Chains A and B, each alone.
Chain A
Amino acid sequence: MAVGIEALQTLEAPPWLGAGGLTRCRQALGGKLVRETWKYSPLPKVTNALLAADEHQGPPVGALPPGVALHRFDELDVPPTLGIDLNRYPLAGIAAARAGAGWLIDVKRTPSHPLRIPAPALGVSAPLLVRVAASCRVDIEQETVQTTDNADFGAQILVLSLAADSEAHWAAAEFAPTADKWCLLQAHLQRNAALTLNHQGTVSNFLRQDVNIVLGGQGARLASVGAALVQDGGRLDQQLVIEHASGGTVSRIKQHNLAAGRSRCTFNGRIHIHAGASGADADLSNRNLALDPSAEVNTKPELEIYNDDVRCAHGATVGQLDAEALFYLQSRGLGPQQAQRLLSLGFLRDGLAGPYAERAAEAFAAHFTSA
């Protein structure tokens, strides 16, 4: 593969990658597992951009509320483990090697207000680990912030580690940043931990989101609701791997994506139910609308189930607007174009939740009023 092999050779692996970590990443880059999940996105280009981009060394966040502490990985006696599968996510190893030491946000008490962590649109950010202590709850808000008008490249790794009975709500938004971006969200949930995810926004760049949620402890729960409007030739590629590794784990995922104009969106949702996960309950729904004939949608449900005692629903649809609903609106006096706009907007808004919902709804509405 035509990646900057030389740059790769000279990279130094951070301690958490372990001996031979980078070698493994290099090998995985050419492997089948990675090739399959990069079917619709240019892996060599992204790898090269990752190698060429500037790095961010500064702390990811300013003042923190009481009970929450910020540490650099290399200041800690024992460097934390991120639990990222480098065979699946070799870019994570490269990004971490580029950006140097990562940052740990240690949540030992439930903070009184949400943690706002800006996500720089440009450059490679050091990995950020948010560790939530048992029975604590944290809300994290992360908006991609465009720092310059020059289209460039950004990379970001966020790892959430939820102890037993803890709760986290991660809300992320982007409003048409111009820089291309790769990001990985990795989460590990212990017994009865609960994670809520909301990702929403407008995408007019290249955005690749890798998401790996490991429901590791008995009764751990994931609820994810998201919506994206992909416009102006944008390319959205979402790759989810949800692992039900213990019994009684629950996942609920709803993602509504709309491809307008000559844009493309890809969604690959894989539910993996491990042998020991009796009583696991998974429900994934991905709906896509292709508004124009030149828009492209790829969606692929994937199920891997190694236990008979599970409930699993997986739906992926690509479609046009519902004819019944169109007629209902027209029968009330709305012209066909207005009816289409309203239904498209409704489809997107149906995938909104969390603190950015209102702004996302406004951004969607703006698209349809200017269109």
Chain B
Amino acid sequence: MSLLEVDGLYASVNGEPILKDLSLRVEAGEIHAIMGPNGSGKSTLANVLAGRPGYEVTAGQVSFNDTALVDVAPEARAQAGLFLAFQYPVEIPGVSNMEFLKAAWDSHLAAQGAQPESAVGFMKRARALATSLGLNPEFLKRGVNEGFSGGEKKRNEILQLLLLEPKLAVLDETDSGLDIDALQTVAAGVNRFRSADNGVLLITHYQRLLNHIVPDRVHVLNEGCIVASGDKHLAEKLEAEGYAWLSG
């Protein structure tokens, strides 16, 4: 049984076909990197996996932990252990980061039939994690992502990843716009998350992230379809040669 199985997936965004015959299989314990030019469909794949409204599967199968995902509500996917780190995390003024995190965690516990964690215990854990990611715990009191810098938003996504402990993490360009220190912090966070039981789908444009997080497989997405797959050396080839050879 695979953690994630995508088989012959066709998907449209607002009626526009974007993904075309995409197949992919991620086993527990694996990290897969997805690279590809702008507009090739990387975020579309991430959003289809997370169940974003407007992203419609028109053919093919997606299953997560042996359960078909099509028609499963986004919150149920999250509760089942699927996590999407957004390329553009959303700002929610008036809702504090802490209450947001606690509500998210409580929803996971409730889905497992577990008792909610005490607020004090949870806050302590969240503050410690924030500090370990180079985020001042004061950030937890601010509105969700409100006025956060690009790098702070990405660290906040990793904070959520580590708090919610999903089975599959889909990271959509979590490395974009990060300075060198932040990149290392984020990479360390992902490596900390990594275990034999879970998997990571790492969407990135840059080989430099893969120096810190070594992928088991690298896939190249072009025009909605995986056109090449290989090991980490494929990323190095892309770094050196770009994407021109795809159309050649």
Give residues in A with beta carbon < 8 Å to B.
322-325, 327-336, 338-339, 342-343, 345-350
Contact = CB atoms under 8 A, between A and B. Distances in A.
Interface in B23-67: 50-53
Given A323-B53, A338-B107, A330 B92 contact: no
Contact of B103 (A336, A342, A347): A342
Nearest to A339: B75
A130 B18 CA distance: 65
Nearest to A361: B94
Contacts of A324: 90
Nearest to A326: B53
Nearest to A352: B94
A328 B107 contact: no
Given A332-B100, A333-B164, A334-B107, A327 B94 contact: no
Interface stretch (B5-13, B78-86, B181-189, B196-204): B78-86
B174 interface: no
B194 interface: no
B150 interface: no
Given A333-B79, A333-B111, 15 more contacts: A327-B52, A327-B74, A329-B100, A330-B51, A331-B51, A331-B52, A331-B75, A331-B83, A332-B103, A332-B107, A332-B160, A333-B78, A333-B107, A346-B92, A348-B94
B86 A328 contact: yes
B214 interface: no
Contacts of A336: 73, 75
A334 B104 contact: yes
B2 to A, nearest CB: 22
**Interface of chain A, main secondary structure:** helix
A19 to B, nearest CB: 51
A334 B144 CA distance: 15
Given A335-B107, A342-B103, A330 B95 contact: no
A346 B160 contact: no
Interface of B: 50-53, 73-75, 77-79, 83-84, 86, 89-90, 92-95, 99-100, 103-104, 107-108, 111, 143-144, 160, 164
Contacts of B83: 331
B94 A334 contact: no
A336 to B, nearest CB: 7
Contact of A346 (B84, B89, B94, B104): B94
B179 to A, nearest CB: 25
A325 B94 contact: no
Contact of B143 (A330, A331, A346): A346
A290 to B, nearest CB: 18
Nearest to A342: B95
A343 B95 contact: yes
16 contacts: A322-B90, A324-B90, A329-B92, A329-B103, A331-B52, A331-B78, A331-B84, A332-B103, A332-B107, A332-B164, A333-B75, A333-B107, A333-B111, A333-B164, A338-B103, A346-B94
B89 to A, nearest CB: 7
A346 B95 contact: yes
A264 B215 CA distance: 56
A339 B108 CA distance: 14
A350 B73 CA distance: 29
A13 B123 CA distance: 62
Contacts of A346: 92-95, 143
A345 B107 CA distance: 18
B118 to A, nearest CB: 19
Contact of A330 (B75, B86, B99): B75
B103 A350 contact: no
A325 B53 CA distance: 12
The 8 closest A-B pairs by CB, nearest first: A346-B94, A350-B94, A333-B107, A346-B95, A332-B104, A349-B94, A333-B78, A328-B90
Contacts of B84: 331
A324 B145 CA distance: 13
A331 B83 CA distance: 7
A332 B50 CA distance: 10
A134 B139 CA distance: 40
A176 B75 CA distance: 35
Contacts of A343: 92, 95
B89 A334 contact: no
Contacts of B75: 330-336, 339
A179 B178 CA distance: 56
Contacts of B143: 346, 350
Nearest to B160: A332
